[in-house]
Structure 1
Amino acid sequence: MEDIQRQWNSKEGILLCLIMMFVWKAVPAQIHYSVPEEMEKGSFVGNIAKDLGMDGKHLSDHRLRIVSRIGTSQYFTLNVITGHLQTSERIDREEICGKAEKCMLNFQVIIESKLEIYGVEVEIIDVNDNAPQFPSGKQKLKISESSMLGSKFSLPEAQDPDLGINSIQNYHLMGSSHFSLDVQTRETGARHVKLVLEKGLDREEQPVHDLILTATDGGDPMRSGTTQIQVIVLDANDNVPVFSQPVYRVNVEENIPKGSIVAAVTATDVDEGINAEIKYSFKKITEKVSKMFLLNSTTGIVTLVGNLDYEESSLYEFEVNAEDGGGLNDWSQVVVGIMDLNDNAPELAINFFINTIPENSSVGTVVALLNVQDQDSGVNGEVTCSIPSKLPFQLKKSVDHFYSLVTYDNLDRERIANYNILIIAADNGTPSLSTSAHISLQILDRNDNAPVFSEPSYMSYVLENNPRGASIFSLTANDPDWEENSRITYSIIEGHKKSILSSYLSINSETGIIYALSSFDYEEFREINFQVKAQDGGSPPLSSNVSVTFFILDQNDNAPEILYPSVPTDGSTGVELAPHSSEPGYLITKVVAVDADSGQNAWLSYQLLKATEPGLFTIGLHTGEIRTARPFLDKDALKQSLVVLVKDNGQPPLSASVTVTVVLADSIPEVLTDLSSISSPVDPQSDLTFYLVVAVALISCLFFTFLLVLLALRLYRWRNSQFCDSGSVNFSGVPVSQFVGIDGVRAFLRSYCHEVSLTSGSRKSQILFPIGSCTNTLTPQQACSQPDPLLTAGDSAIIVEEAVNSQVSM
């Protein structure tokens, strides 16, 4: 048994390979053979190999085998060496087919090497192997001596299971000249024999007549059977029993229970007394029928005593004899038809199947070979084989009751990796009966899916000054394939910035974690663009790329840089000039600073840390503009020193400071010797009482105040005109304005460079000072056209020795 199992396993392995290469091909042709029954075991039936056109020398390579109907006997074997079909046992046609006109045995032959199947039918030819047989024992027949000449009496008939010429052809009677035979042939071909009275009977002369009835068939050689008939002569009985109908036909279902009444026969006799008493009995019955039906001798009711099965026999025929008390009889035929019911579920056998199949298998690849049959007949035996409609498989019917399960659509392991295919074979009976079977099929993976990233592109934000070697980002890709086909490795694709990428970034090939090899500097570059490649381990490998962008975030790592006033390089001190007549809000100068950082780290604020005269000047918090907070007083020092702090908005904030010198002057003296010799007057203590008195006086004298204001305005205009009419002052140079972009910040730079030439005797001095951009500030042309009365008066010369070159950014 183990050897057979190993051979079958090896066959399955070979067939698996063949199934993957070929599509199942069913050949509808039938091979027909005819053999007589009762042949010896091993008798030659036909040469299958020759009829299939196969080479007999390499017959074993084709692997022929027979597939017969499920649950049926195997009457034939196939010689795999010679290719001959032989009988495996003695075949009895009458046992297999009964009275069927043609006896066919069907089976299939599979050529495993080609996956082809052929139908084979073998017709069993009847031979005269059965002699006619009469019922056992001596048959007794009672005939009244008053019977008229020509009267006919039924005789027991012989049975011969052979067909056609081999069945009963004639009857012969011997033993008495008083009788002859009347043989009648019915539509069915059966021959019925009756005894005919040729001479009058006389009981007193001869009460008993012994006859010999012989039945012969037409076979070669001819066979015969005999029985003894004893005719007992009775006293006169004028009337013969008569059945109500010559043939009783009934149809019953095969599932009726035992004890059910099948039929009821009725015969009447017009005689009286004992001659009218009728007894019923089987006249012509086989052993099979006698085990199936029981006849009530008094009532004529036929009762079922066996189990009916349409698949075993669809028709029962027997004859019933009615005999009165006087010995006269009549007979009638009973035909019982069995109606088929759907009492047999289809039989489903899987002759061949595979457990695994690659997902790239072509459409039409065979997965399994099936055989379905149903023992019922008609619609009850019509079987339909089906599988669920949503599966990528279909059933194709081939020869007879064979089906092949093939792929109907492309398989995708990533969508469904395993199939549990339910195959249902259902008949068309009412109610329908079905049988099911399962085939488990595993889909083998192929590298047909490239890795897919979870996002179409990636963006991330990284703070500058990051530590080296730190992980800054992680990305993953998924591959729905299996095992090696889904094992992903990551790499960075280096383009035209290869040196930058290799020095700043690296990626873990297994996890997809990106590390920073160097510290980033926002001021050096703001973003990094590159691509990451994900490649699987299939053969050939598949890959996909994704774009990654790192935005470098700024940190407050740069202190503000002051552009104006700039630190001089020649050791001089820069100053700003402010006239005494400046009104509150007069623009003195502007501190300009920038920050290399961005965002709030580059938001600058300005404040005065220190001033010679607190409260005299203010600075714009965000503009850096230094303006007068109040009018200048005579007690205010001519030289004001301001310390300005520039601070950014970072965390923590960074800052820078600058010192701005402001000189208060309403006019320029003719001789300027040294600006540093001017000292600031001591600020006297303010007299609160004086200001209170002035306030009261101003309130009391509104009209007088109004006149004073008008007078002050007139004097102010006159002083400005006197300052500009000085002819000894020469200004050279023109203010220059320009825009400079620093790190996205547009700054307005204003340069002040005015040369003032003063002459007093043989002494010349040069003063460099900025001119404010206020409406009250003189233009160079105005300054050149007005003489300076102070110079002519011979006051002390004020020389501004340090030039202030400023760049102001808005």
Structure 2
Amino acid sequence: MNDNAPEITVLSVSSPVAEDAPVGTVVALLNVIDRDAGENGQVSCELSGEAPLSLVASSSGGSYKVVTASALDREQAAEHRVTVVARDRGIPELSGRAALVLEVSDVNDNAPVFEEAAYSAYVAENNAAGAPVLRVRARDADAGANGRVSYWLAGGSAGAAPYVSVEARSGAVYAQRSFDYEQCREFAVAVRAQDGGAPARSSTATVRVFVLDRNDNAPRVLWPAAGAGAAGPAPFEVVPRSAEAGYLVAKVVAVDADAGRNAWLSYELVQAPEPALFRVGLHSGEVRTARAVSERDAAKQRLVAVVKDHGQPALSATATLHVVLAESLQEALPELSDRDTVSELTSDLNIILVVALSVVSLLFVCTVILILFLKCRRSRSPPVFITSDKDLYSSLGSKAPYNYCSSTLPLPYSYEVCLASESGQKDFTFLRPGAAALPDRLLAGEPGSETQSGKDPPSPGRSAQPGSFRTLNPSNGRCCVHP
């Protein structure tokens, strides 16, 4: 009698199973028993459910193996749930069931994949360093460290590496420097996304950056050349006085380093001695006569044109054009030579004024120095006025032995004073008018000379007149008596 259902015993389960496990890998062992006899005890097993697994019966009765029937893919199914069903052949049929749960472990079998194969970014020039450009993103289907993505610069166009940098974790791309449209209008870099598996897997994407122009360059005048007058004579155009309206005088040539509307140029005449004589083309820059030239027009004309671009805000430059109204070049040369002569005379006059100012300054300084020198010399040797012999002797003090004689002959009354610091003698000699010279004995102080010695004051008739005074010059030791 079929009264016992088959019994399933799970002996072992290998879970989780690596997704790269080869086909036929044993993931579980089962044992099935039916206590009935005969056909009631004969059992057949199968797996229910969709799974890349199969059930294989072993050589010994009642044992089964669950093996992989195809490659596993964790990214498609991280686990598999199956049911093992065992049925006997009895009537009525009896069955037993056992559930198996098989987890699939991840291996690094997937490389990061960018959301876009190529990225494009548009950045206006003169941007700030560190400004964000764009953000790249890559996804990795693996799990854990195998799916953790980091970003790196893998290279790019020549010279592009210093322009940008990428943040390793977020994939944000930042500008490393300010972009200049006139130097670099576009560049491309390769960004690599790499996972943390072992071995690591990676992929790359191209990032192309387009630099947008800003109106940061003013127009540059090529003709007439700006500043030509500083290096030499300014260029000029000769227009015959017989020229009619529409005569082509010159063409203002200018360029702008910007692009688009920022480089569109327009011309305007803003200064002219005869406003109605010349006109300039708005877009061509051609300077033409607006009417016929007359004899009343000045021979020399100076025209100033403004070149503007169409940027926001607009930038401009000026061009100066010199025009000479003459029938020929020979007729125009006198006008130009007069202008050059005046310029040379002005330059020479400036040089003369500078030299003259330098000479006057030098003379003034020398005069001041000479006056100061004379003042200092006089202040070092002031005269000493002595009214008596005692004052003369006291002025000498206890200095070294000192002898001194002095005489004045040209005066109507001449005097001679002789001093000797050691002896303390003082000789005073009065010479009558008409005396030609002093005897040597008077200078020597011999006896018998007309000298008053050791007397102070001298006797009448031989001394100085009343009211006289004596002076002592300390610099040379001379003493003089003057009426």
TM-score normalised by length of structure 2:
0.61
1:562 and 2:253 correspond = no
- Post-superposition CA distance 1:150-173 (Å, at most 9, x none): xxxxxxxxxxxxxxxxxxxxxxxx
SS at match of 1:673: helix
Q: Distance in 1 between matches of 2:290 and 2:331?
A: 30
What residue number does 2:238 align with?
A: 577
Quote how far apart the aligned CAs of 1:455 are.
Answer: 2.0
SS at match of 1:455: coil
1:539 and 2:230 correspond = no
Q: Is the 8 A contact 2:2 2:92 kept in 1?
A: no
CA RMSD of aligned residues (A): 3.4
What residue number does 2:128 align with?
A: 467
Q: Distance in 1 between matches of 2:314 and 2:274?
A: 28
Q: What fraction of aligned residue pairs are identical, expressed as a percent?
A: 46
Q: Distance in 2 between matches of 1:648 and 1:655?
A: 6
Select 1:356's aligned residue among 16, 31, 37. 16
1:311 and 2:6 correspond = no
1:274-289 mapped onto 2 (5 Å cutoff): none
Q: Distance in 2 between matches of 1:477 and 1:418?
A: 25
What residue number does 1:367 align with?
A: 27
Quote how far apart the aligned CAs of 1:657 are.
Answer: 0.8
Quote how far apart the aligned CAs of 1:672 are.
Answer: 5.0
Select 1:528's aligned residue among 178, 187, 190. 187
Measured at CA, do residues 668 and 528 of structure 1 come closer, stay the same or move farther in structure 2, by a change above 3 Å?
closer
Quote how far apart the aligned CAs of 1:581 are.
Answer: 4.2
Q: Distance in 2 between matches of 1:512 and 1:358?
A: 31
1:612 and 2:273 correspond = yes
Q: Distance in 1 between matches of 2:250 and 2:113?
A: 62
481-490 vs 575-584, greater mean Cα deviation: 575-584
Q: Distance in 2 between matches of 1:510 and 1:669?
A: 78
Measured at CA, do residues 570 and 367 of structure 1 come closer, stay the same or move farther in structure 2, by a change above 3 Å?
closer
Select 1:403's aligned residue among 60, 64, 74. 64
Q: Distance in 2 between matches of 1:453 and 1:373?
A: 54
Quote how far apart the aligned CAs of 1:643 are.
Answer: 1.8
What residue number does 1:391 align with?
A: 51
Q: Distance in 2 between matches of 1:433 and 1:662?
A: 120
Measured at CA, do residues 349 and 651 of structure 1 come closer, stay the same or move farther in structure 2, by a change above 3 Å?
same
SS at match of 2:133: strand
Q: Distance in 2 between matches of 1:585 and 1:376?
A: 126
What residue number does 1:514 align with?
A: 173
1:245-324 mapped onto 2 (5 Å cutoff): 310-311=1-2
What residue number does 2:77 align with?
A: 416
Measured at CA, do residues 588 and 418 of structure 1 come closer, stay the same or move farther in structure 2, by a change above 3 Å?
same
- Post-superposition CA distance 1:5-60 (Å, at most 9, x none): xxxxxxxxxxxxxxxxxxxxxxxxxxxxxxxxxxxxxxxxxxxxxxxxxxxxxxxx
Quote how far apart the aligned CAs of 1:427 are.
Answer: 6.4
AA aligned to 2:335 is: D
Instruction: Give the gaps of 5 or more residues in structure 2.
Output: 340-483
Measured at CA, do residues 594 and 430 of structure 1 come closer, stay the same or move farther in structure 2, by a change above 3 Å?
farther
1:188-227 mapped onto 2 (5 Å cutoff): none
What residue number does 2:112 align with?
A: 451
SS at match of 1:360: coil
Quote how far apart the aligned CAs of 1:396 are.
Answer: 1.7
Q: Distance in 2 between matches of 1:630 and 1:377?
A: 131
Q: Distance in 2 between matches of 1:510 and 1:645?
A: 53
Q: Distance in 2 between matches of 1:536 and 1:670?
A: 85
1:597 and 2:258 correspond = yes
AA aligned to 1:523 is: E
SS at match of 2:334: coil
Quote how far apart the aligned CAs of 1:575 are.
Answer: 2.3
Q: Distance in 2 between matches of 1:671 and 1:491?
A: 71
1:322-333 mapped onto 2 (5 Å cutoff): none
Select 1:482's aligned residue among 143, 150, 154. 143
Say which structure, 1 or 2, has more relative contact order (CA 8 Å, 6+ apart): 2
1:629 and 2:290 correspond = yes
Q: Distance in 1 between matches of 2:41 and 2:266?
A: 100
What residue number does 1:643 align with?
A: 304
AA aligned to 1:555 is: R
Q: Is the 8 A contact 1:373 1:383 kept in 2?
A: no
Measured at CA, do residues 572 and 481 of structure 1 come closer, stay the same or move farther in structure 2, by a change above 3 Å?
same
Q: Distance in 1 between matches of 2:95 and 2:135?
A: 57
Q: Distance in 1 between matches of 2:96 and 2:253?
A: 96
SS at match of 1:534: strand
Q: Distance in 1 between matches of 2:307 and 2:115?
A: 48
Q: Distance in 1 between matches of 2:164 and 2:238?
A: 56
Q: Is the 8 A contact 1:372 1:383 kept in 2?
A: no
Measured at CA, do residues 431 and 562 of structure 1 come closer, stay the same or move farther in structure 2, by a change above 3 Å?
farther
Q: Is the 8 A contact 1:459 1:550 kept in 2?
A: yes
Q: Is the 8 A contact 1:387 1:395 kept in 2?
A: no
What residue number does 2:447 align with?
A: none
Measured at CA, do residues 404 and 608 of structure 1 come closer, stay the same or move farther in structure 2, by a change above 3 Å?
same
Quote how far apart the aligned CAs of 1:593 are.
Answer: 0.8
Q: Is the 8 A contact 1:582 1:632 kept in 2?
A: yes
1:26-425 mapped onto 2 (5 Å cutoff): 310-311=1-2, 347-372=7-32, 383-388=44-49, 390-398=50-58, 399-425=60-86
Q: Distance in 1 between matches of 2:245 and 2:82?
A: 97
Q: Distance in 1 between matches of 2:30 and 2:333?
A: 124
Measured at CA, do residues 468 and 358 of structure 1 come closer, stay the same or move farther in structure 2, by a change above 3 Å?
same
Quote how far apart the aligned CAs of 1:443 are.
Answer: 1.2
Larger Rg belongs to: 1
Measured at CA, do residues 624 and 425 of structure 1 come closer, stay the same or move farther in structure 2, by a change above 3 Å?
farther
TM-score normalised by length of structure 1:
0.38
SS at match of 2:146: helix
Q: Is the 8 A contact 1:346 1:383 kept in 2?
A: no
Q: Is the 8 A contact 1:396 1:403 kept in 2?
A: yes
Q: Is the 8 A contact 1:380 1:427 kept in 2?
A: yes
1:442 and 2:133 correspond = no
What residue number does 1:305 align with?
A: none
SS at match of 1:589: strand
- Post-superposition CA distance 1:124-183 (Å, at most 9, x none): xxxxxxxxxxxxxxxxxxxxxxxxxxxxxxxxxxxxxxxxxxxxxxxxxxxxxxxxxxxx
Q: Distance in 2 between matches of 1:428 and 1:579?
A: 127
Instruction: Give the gaps of 5 or more residues in structure 1.
Output: 1-309, 313-343, 679-810
AA aligned to 1:311 is: N
Q: Is the 8 A contact 2:238 2:332 kept in 1?
A: no
Q: Distance in 1 between matches of 2:335 and 2:303?
A: 20
Measured at CA, do residues 559 and 383 of structure 1 come closer, stay the same or move farther in structure 2, by a change above 3 Å?
same
653-662 vs 424-433, greater mean Cα deviation: 424-433
Quote how far apart the aligned CAs of 1:625 are.
Answer: 1.5
Q: Is the 8 A contact 2:74 2:104 kept in 1?
A: yes
Q: Distance in 1 between matches of 2:290 and 2:332?
A: 31
Measured at CA, do residues 496 and 593 of structure 1 come closer, stay the same or move farther in structure 2, by a change above 3 Å?
closer
Q: Distance in 2 between matches of 1:540 and 1:357?
A: 20
How many residue pairs get matched?
336
Quote how far apart the aligned CAs of 1:373 are.
Answer: 5.8
Q: Distance in 2 between matches of 1:521 and 1:359?
A: 52
